Structure 1
Amino acid sequence: MNIRPIKTEEDYNSALSRVEELWGARKDTPEGDELDLLVTLIESYEMKHYPIAPPDPIDAIKFRMDQMGMTKADMVKYLGSQSRVSEILNRKRGLTLGMIKSLYKGLKIPAEILLD
């Protein structure tokens, strides 16, 4: 096992290739330990070089609605009137703190996403 920090794109690609070779290695074996270490290094490199931006608040709401099979009418209890729901989902009006709290409590959408 010759593990080094991932500093370049070439190092990153080599590490990914090695992970593919090691995939399925048993835990608590040299190969399993190497796999664990490489995955940790790859995750660190990806967080630094390929950060994933948090989703747009409205996109997050629409995604959760889709996940839960909800309609705009179902959103009235979280956002207010039907016209208010339409304004929010069409980006004509921003979310209020009360709406954010309601969406967080009722739909479990993380507040940090809604506060963006």
Structure 2
Amino acid sequence: MAQLAIVDAYQAFMSTAQPFINIGSDEQYETALETLEQVIETATDTPDDLMNPLIDMLSNAIERYEAEDEELAAFIEEAEAIPNDIALLRTLMSQHHLTGSHLPEIGDKTMVSKVLNGKRVLSRQAIEKLSARFGIRPGMFFGS
């Protein structure tokens, strides 16, 4: 009897989850992203959390859709090609609404532009100053 109940529950779940598992449109993709965000916010971040399989299922479906969508795949490939230090610096600038002239830790806005364009690297001193200013570990400029 319990076996039939689990099959019935699974079928009911799958009929509801189908658009999230087999994402076929940008609208379903956006909905899946929003749903994943909500599920992650409710999860307790422990290995035995009952939401973990759902998080995995949604994440896998989103990854499949992103890999199959040429535009998204190209965007992801381009984003992953950005060096960690430049990606972090751009993120900090965006989050704090900064321009090149707001980062004296690196130098003038011309120097910041050169760093952002990959023509110059961040000096150790600049990384230390930026880390102190934004309250982050210097190692974050080097990735994981």
Q: TM-score, normalised by structure 1?
A: 0.51
Could you tell me how far apart the structure 2 residues matched to 1:86 and 1:94 are?
A: 11
**Residue 100 of structure 1: which of 112, 127, 134 is its match?**
127
After the TM superposition, list the runs of 4 or more consecutive aligned residues in structure 1 that deviate by more than 4 angstroms: none
Could you tell me how far apart the structure 2 residues matched to 1:80 and 1:36 are?
A: 43
Alpha-carbon displacement from aligned partner over 1:59-81 (angstroms, at most 9, x marks no partner): 11111111111111101x11012
Could you tell me how far apart the structure 1 residues matched to 2:46 and 2:118 are?
A: 43
* Structure 2 residue matching 1:109: 3-state secondary structure: coil
Partner of 2:138: 111
What runs of 5+ residues in structure 1 fail to find an aligned partner?
1-22, 24-34, 47-52
Which structure carries more helix by proportion? 2
Partners of 1:58 and 1:88 within 8 A in 2: yes
> After the TM superposition, which residues 1-116 of structure 1 pair with which residues of structure 2 at under 5 Å, given as runs?
36-39=46-49, 56-75=84-103, 77-116=104-143
Could you tell me how far apart the structure 1 residues matched to 2:113 and 2:47 are?
A: 48
> Comparing both chains, which one has the higher relative contact order based on Cα–Cα distances under 8 Å and sequence gaps of 6 or more?
1
Partners of 2:100 and 2:108 within 8 A in 1: no
Could you tell me how far apart the structure 2 residues matched to 1:37 and 1:96 are?
A: 40
What runs of 5+ residues in structure 2 fail to find an aligned partner?
1-38, 40-44, 57-79
Q: TM-score, normalised by structure 2?
A: 0.42
Aligned length: 74
Aligned alpha-carbon RMSD (Å): 3.3
Could you tell me how far apart the structure 2 residues matched to 1:56 and 1:101 are?
A: 15
Could you tell me how far apart the structure 2 residues matched to 1:56 and 1:63 are?
A: 10
Partners of 2:100 and 2:109 within 8 A in 1: yes
Give the 3 Å change call, closer, same or farther, for CA 95–36 of structure 1 in structure 2: closer
